[in-house]
């Protein structure tokens, strides 16, 4: 699967987002080492703390299906700036893959790519104790 295909899956997932409060519709597509892909969208709630990001929905879907070998994740939102993962999502990503490749897109379809270690240096790890 190439970058464009993964980004298109993230864009398609963004169309399923439930975001009546922020109107910020995000989609994510997580490719695992075995080639399987899990998608997610953000899901908001009137009790805002109960909301969940698209990236974590995709990761939790993969984990709940027994897949913890993350390779790449595409993130899309129809915005003017690149859609970057929040701090909480970066921490969850780091639990499974410090070298996860992230493709962060914006509405025009252009994207930037990073390794998670660039976005979350010196990540908190339980094994550090």
Active site residues: 55
Indicate the residue among 32 and 59 with the shorter CB distance to Zn ion: 59
Give bridge partners of residue 75 from the DSSP assignment.
28, 104
**Kind of pairing between the strands at 111-115 and 101-105:** antiparallel
- Dist. CA 27–CA 54, nearest whole Å: 5
CA proximity to 21, closest of 6, 42, 37, 38: 42
**Closest to Zn ion by CB, 34 or 103:** 103
Answer yes or no whether residue 28 interacts with Zn ion by CB under 5 A. Answer: no
By CB under 5 A, what part of segment 79-118 binds Zn ion? 86, 89
Candidate residues 37, 41, 53, 119; the one interacting with Zn ion per rule CB under 5 A: 53
Q: Which residues bind Zn ion (CB under 5 A)?
A: 53, 86, 89
């Amino acid at each position: 699967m190439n970058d464009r295909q993964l980004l298109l899956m993230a864009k398609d997932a963004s169309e399923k987002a439930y975001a009546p409060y922020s109107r910020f519709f995000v989609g994510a597509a997580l490719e695992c080492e075995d080639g399987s892909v899990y998608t997610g969208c953000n899901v908001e709630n009137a009790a805002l703390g109960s909301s969940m990001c698209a990236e974590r929905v995709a990761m939790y879907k993969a984990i709940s299906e027994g897949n913890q070998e993350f390779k790449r994740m595409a993130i899309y939102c129809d915005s003017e700036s690149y859609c970057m993962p929040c701090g909480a999502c970066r921490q969850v990503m780091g639990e499974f893959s410090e070298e996860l490749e992230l493709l962060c897109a914006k509405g025009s379809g252009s994207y930037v790519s990073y390794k998670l270690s660039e976005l979350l240096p010196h990540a908190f790890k339980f094994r550090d104790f």
